[in-house]
Amino acid sequence: MALNDETALLADLKARLMEIEDFGSSASLLGWDEAGFMPSAGARVRARQKARLAALTHQKATDPALGRLLDRLAAFADSLAEDSPDAALIRVARRDFDLATRVPAEYVARASEHGSASYNVWVGARPANDFAATMPYLETTLELSREFAEFFAGYEHVMDPLIGPDEGFTASEIAALFAALQAELRPLVNAIAEKPVVCDRCLHQTFPPAQQLAFATKIAVDFGYDLKRGRIDLSPHPFCTVFARDDVRITTRVKENDLSDALFSVLHEVGHALYEMGIASELEGTPIGHGASPGVHESQSRLWENIIGRSLPFWEHYYPLLQSLFPDQLGHIELDTFYRAINKVERTLIRTDADEITYNLHVMIRFDLECKMLEGKLAVRDLQDAWNARYEADLGLTPPNDTIGVTQDVHWYGGGIGGSFQAYTIGNILSAQLYEAAVAAKPGIEPDIAKGEFDDLRGWLGGHLHRHGRQFTGPVIAQQASGARISLEPYIRYLKQKYGALYGLAL
Ligand code: ZN
């Protein structure tokens, strides 16, 4: 093939992929509007508009002409250096094409319709403590999740296709990693439980929303969130959404009686946003112009939210400003009291309210139950008992009802069992691993935090992680940035150092 042919084919490929990307980001814009602005009566037509865009996207993504183009470019990709962006583009586009074509459109429509029906039942069943109402839907969801896996026959574990290739870890690798983490976390959580309960009343006074938002926005900007390329709005559940590299938006919610909710959700979503804003501009409009994997993405949100945003040096710098915004509420509260309150560890029943240590125990419960359900070892009718037994064994608590038990999370009720929860804990582990590598390379990062300066940290993350986008899978990008696909030690070190000091434990 002459060079000109390859150049023309590559240009054709990029044009087709950009079309798919533009459909996808337009659908995201409709979703962003729906979540925060659309009047409720707009829902019916909005659902139709989103479905039409999804159908168009699927048509483009499975176009046989795109497959033929990728076939013709395969040899060219092999001739390029492995780290060349064009080789990565062809490789990832092939993976996406195979995925889109292996899963029949009929299945996608059926699963999506079932997901909506299941979600609507869950919305009513959760507050009514009516797990039984969701059971027939969950049974279908489980069948659909297994059916999805069958499109990728040849897997080692039925969860592997649900986790997907970007994450780069198999279910058995994750299970081994989680078992090792659990062996470390259980004694730590038990030791903390023996200590006096930390008082966090200072966070639960009345904090006017406008000041809360102003403070969170100031930190977001200090972290490097560029308001010319993004904006912060309100929605019932915080999220980050990307329409383009220069239009990365986040949302939050404000609770007048809980200072931590808006603040830490903004810091979390800003972590996701900085990743997307830092991807190399030449990757924009291509399938590699996104974050590497859900786990790596979560490592970025957790790093900014927890490792930086809940650290003592950070608050040594920012607490006086917070006090000046809320003099009546915090003027008389010592920094130490506030720092302990935002890092309170407590065994509780709700994942989304959990502290940074016990959060992982919640994730592992779900991951294990998902594996058992997918393997056919746990039936939906026994799920409630299995859930309650695991909460008793792992957290010493039995849910008094299903609203704060087995029906608390939307995930299983929105149409899928398996493939998403593990990313939260993979993210926690990677956040410490990447941060340790960053500090080893640039020791000035830590003293800078106490000055409210984050350029070196953002610069390191940008150069080693962000700019590559989705050119490499999660483990490859972690290996390149920190020398290991994934390693528990930095995370364990981080937790023991921080919580050993906070709770006076000899670890
Ligand atoms: Zn997140």
CA distance 92 to 468: 13
Give the pLDDT band (50/70/90) at residue 4. low
pLDDT tens digits, one per residue of 340-381: 999 999 999 999 999 999 999 999 999 999 999 999 999 999
For residues 41-51, give the mean pLDDT. Answer: 88
To 5 degrees, how large is the angle CA 366–CA 371–CA 377?
Answer: 115
The secondary structure of 281-335 as a DSSP string is: GGGTTSTTSS-S-HHHHHHHHHIIIIIITTSHHHHHHHHHHHHHHSHHHHTTS-H
Say whether pLDDT at 392 is over 80.
Answer: yes
Strand duo 240-244 + 232-234: pairing: unpaired
Q: What is the pLDDT of residues 439-492, one digit of tens each?
A: 999 999 999 999 999 999 999 999 999 999 999 999 999 999 999 999 999 999
Mean pLDDT of 273-284: 97
Residues 6 or more apart whose CB falls under 8 angstroms from that of 117 comprise 137
Higher pLDDT among residues 372 and 44, named by residue: 372
pLDDT band at 199 (very low <50, low <70, confident <90, very high): very high
For residue 26 the two structure tokens come to: 């337009």
Q: What is the pLDDT of residue 2?
A: 57
Q: In angstroms, what is the span from residue 298 Cα to ligand 1's centroid?
A: 5
| 445 CB-near residues (< 8 Å, 6+ apart) | 438, 439, 456, 457, 460
- The model's confidence at residue 116, banded by pLDDT at 50, 70 and 90, is confident
Tokens at 197, concatenated:
């309960």
What is the rounded (10 degree) CA torsion for 174, 177, 179, 181? -130
Mean pLDDT calculated for residue range 387-394: 97
CA of 301 to the centre of ligand 1 (A): 6
Binning pLDDT at 50, 70 and 90, where does residue 438 land? very high
Question: Residue 173 is encoded by which pair of tokens?
Answer: 């690798």
Residue 409 Cα to ligand 1 midpoint, Å, equals 15
Dihedral (C-alpha) 109, 110, 116, 119: value to the nearest 10 degrees? -140
Report pLDDT digits (tens) over 314-332: 999 999 999 999 999 999 9
What DSSP designation does 63 have?
-
- CA-wise closest residue to 423 among 369, 360, 483: 360
Under a CB-based contact definition with an 8 Å cutoff, are residues 191 and 496 in contact?
no
User: What tens digit of pLDDT does each residue of 412-431 get?
Assistant: 998 899 999 999 999 999 99
- Ligand 1 centre to CA of 212 (Å) is 20
- C-alpha 306 – ligand 1 centre gap (Å): 12
**How many whole angstroms separate alpha carbon 18 and alpha carbon 334?**
53
- For residue 471, what pLDDT is reported? 96
Judged on CB neighbours under 10 Å (0-12, 13-18, 19+), 161 is buried
Is 173 a residue whose pLDDT tops 90? yes
**What is the arithmetic mean of pLDDT over 368-395?**
97
pLDDT at 145: 98
270 DSSP assignment = H
Mean pLDDT in residue range 72-92: 93
Starting at the edge strand that comes first in sequence, how are the strands of the sheet with 240-244 ordered? 232-234, 247-252, 240-244
* Average pLDDT score over the chain: 96
**Cβ contact 290:300 at 8 Å:** no
Measure 272 CA to ligand 1 centroid, in angstroms. 7
Q: Could you give the CA distance from residue 292 to residue 475 in angstroms, rounded to a whole number? A: 9
Enumerate the active-site residues.
Answer: 269
User: Residue 3: is its pLDDT beyond 80?
Assistant: no
Report pLDDT for 435: 98
Token pair for residue 98?
Answer: 């195979």
